[in-house]
Structure 1
Amino acid sequence: MPRRRIGFWYRFAAVICKPPLVVLLRRDWRGMEHIPAEGGFITAVNHNSHIDPFAYAHFQYNTGRVPRFLAKSGLFKKGFVGAAMRGTGQIPVYRESTDALSAFRAAIDAVNRGECVAFYPEGTLTRDPDGWPMTAKTGAARVALQTKCPVIPVAQWGCNELLPPYAKKPHLLPRKTHRVLAGPPVDLSRFYDREMTADLLKEATEVIMAAITAQLEEIRGEKAPETPYDPRRERIEQRRRTQAQTERGGQEPGRPVRSAQSPKSVQEEGLGT
């Protein structure tokens, strides 16, 4: 299967985006040899800053295999941004509509055409207090098992030091380093040709996330928590703590945990950004 040409819009976006990225971030990029030279594939990437999609796209652009990201449909509608999103072949996610699963179908079609689709399996910025990957959605695993394409696990670190999750102002000095480590394809062959149940998809997703986490451990030089942070479990625990505090006399409850904002049907597939 031939590779997709980079095209005018991707080259134009690179001309605009690369100079500020080069100025703001040093680069420590490893594992480019694991990005397939031909054929369709998935990259599964951890997400810890609002700017890491641009920095990661820079990394993969330099491999010659440009990624197609899944992004909110509103970004495709107007002006220059919309033209760039359409021109670079990004995949719109239609939240809260009957077209919510069209992104899933588009991702499968793109892989089957020999393109790369980049997934953030967590579905949103990690909420782990220390920036480790949290529990993930099953969309990347579903596309991988349906297409039997290679899944390249990618860990990145550094953009979160420039712009921490949910922060409004960047920390420009000292200059930060964007570290990327792409690994060999995750072996999902034991899941092929089996009924695609929720448990099977969950297990395959955990295998993908374990590979990403192991690579992030190598980048950071430290061990990740044994159990990934689970926002759903944390929300349950937060409600229990709040109820217990109320029963003890109406004490001030703890700070609520952010919850994902996409509807369950899309969020569970991990198709949002």
Structure 2
Amino acid sequence: MRPLLWSMTRSDWHGAEHLHQGRGTIVAANHQTNIDPLTFAYFLWANGVVPRILAKDSLFRVPVLRKVLVATGQIPVSRGTTTAGRSLDAAAAALAQGETVAVFPEGTLTREPDLWPMQAKTGVARLALATRAPVVPVAQWGAHRLMGRYKKLLKPIPRKKVTVVAGPPVDLSDLYDQPLDGPVLREATDRIMAAITHQLEEIRGETAPPEPFVWRRGTPA
């Protein structure tokens, strides 16, 4: 995909030094469009990181794509099922081997009207606190011009500027010895999303809404 993405995008990348923590690392990014997993992976790969991405299991049922995802070691997530926890076990095993696990904490495309990050699910916090792996926040902006939210067609001409910024790891150390209950998981999740949102504010030169958008499945955004 690298030659194709190079031909369609102009990369504006910053903070790659934060990706290399010398041990298993979680990299968490905002999610705006169906193309940004590729621009996210492109940023990681081009900066010397081979990502293990937590991806929805429906992608693994697409014949050709399934072969690619399995061959590259991506991790399926069965959202909303009793087996969803297996993906966290696989991610924890990858972290223990010193690998980089890439996640979209929101779990789906943001429903926030202006593409700001919405309130995230707590899976990333559970993984981070259970493994004590550093969490590097990454903000993306511009991929939505290549493929709009909910759209299926690319707009490759002219090349679109895609900005990706990685920041220093989010400090969760004071939560490591706390019980993994709802309030602790929410606090860790909100810290991670706040770091991503702050970086996105700097990219966009705008201020995000004071409270993150909350979306419930089955309700309109």
Q: Does 1:127 align with 2:111?
A: yes
Q: CA deviation at 1:39?
A: 1.2
Stretch moving more, 107-116 or 76-85: 76-85
Aligned to 2:167: 183
Q: Distance in 2 between matches of 1:144 and 1:24?
A: 34
- CA contact 1:37–1:65 (8 Å) conserved in 2: no
Aligned to 1:82: 66
Unaligned runs of 5+ in 2: none
Which of structures 1 and 2 has the bigger CA Rg?
1
**Number of equivalent positions:** 221
Closer/same/farther in 2, CA of residues 150 and 78 from structure 1, 3 Å limit: same
Among 107, 114, 118, the alignment partner of 2:102 is: 118
Partner-residue secondary structure (3-state), 2:116: coil
60-69 vs 39-48, greater mean Cα deviation: 60-69
Is 1:229 matched up with 2:210?
no
Distance 2:155 2:65 in 1: 26
Task: Measure, in 2, the Cα distance between the counterparts of 1:21 and 1:221.
Answer: 25
TM-score, length-normalised on structure 2? Answer: 0.94
Residue 123 (structure 2) aligns with? 139
Aligned equivalents of 1:90 and 1:229: distance in 2? 29
Cα deviation code 1:92-151 (max 9, x no counterpart): 123465432210111111111111111100010011111100000001111000111110
Partner of 2:50: 66
Task: Report the Cα distance in structure 2 between the residues aligned to 1:56 and 1:225, rounded to whole angstroms.
Answer: 24
Sort the Cα spacing of 1:201 and 1:37 in 2 relative to 1 into closer, same or farther, 3 A. Answer: closer
Alignment of 1:1-273 (within 5 A): 17-36=1-20, 38-76=22-60, 79-95=63-79, 97-232=81-216, 235=219, 257=220
**Identical columns (%):** 51
1:62-116 CA distances to partner (integer Å, 9 max, x unpaired)?
1211111112334335643222211111011234654322101111111111111
Q: CA deviation at 1:222?
A: 0.9
CA contact (8 A) 2:8 2:158 kept: no
Change (3 A) 1:176 1:201: same
Q: Work out which structure has the larger RCO, using CA pairs closer than 8 Å and 6 or more positions apart in sequence.
A: 2
Instruction: Give how far 1:168 is off.
Output: 3.2
CA shift, 1:18, in A, is 0.9
Q: Unpaired segments of 5 or more residues in structure 1?
A: 1-16, 236-256, 259-273
TM-score, normalised to structure 1's length? 0.76
3-state SS of paired residue (1:70): strand
Letter in 1 for 2:7: V
**Aligned partner letter, 1:58:** Y
Q: Aligned partners of 2:74 and 2:186: how far apart in 1?
A: 26
**Which 4+ stretches in 1 moved above 6 angstroms?**
none
CA contact (8 A) 1:154 1:180 kept: yes
Q: Relative to 1, partners in 2 of residues 1:20 and 1:203: Cα closer, same or farther, differing over 3 Å?
A: same
Distance 2:174 2:93 in 1: 23
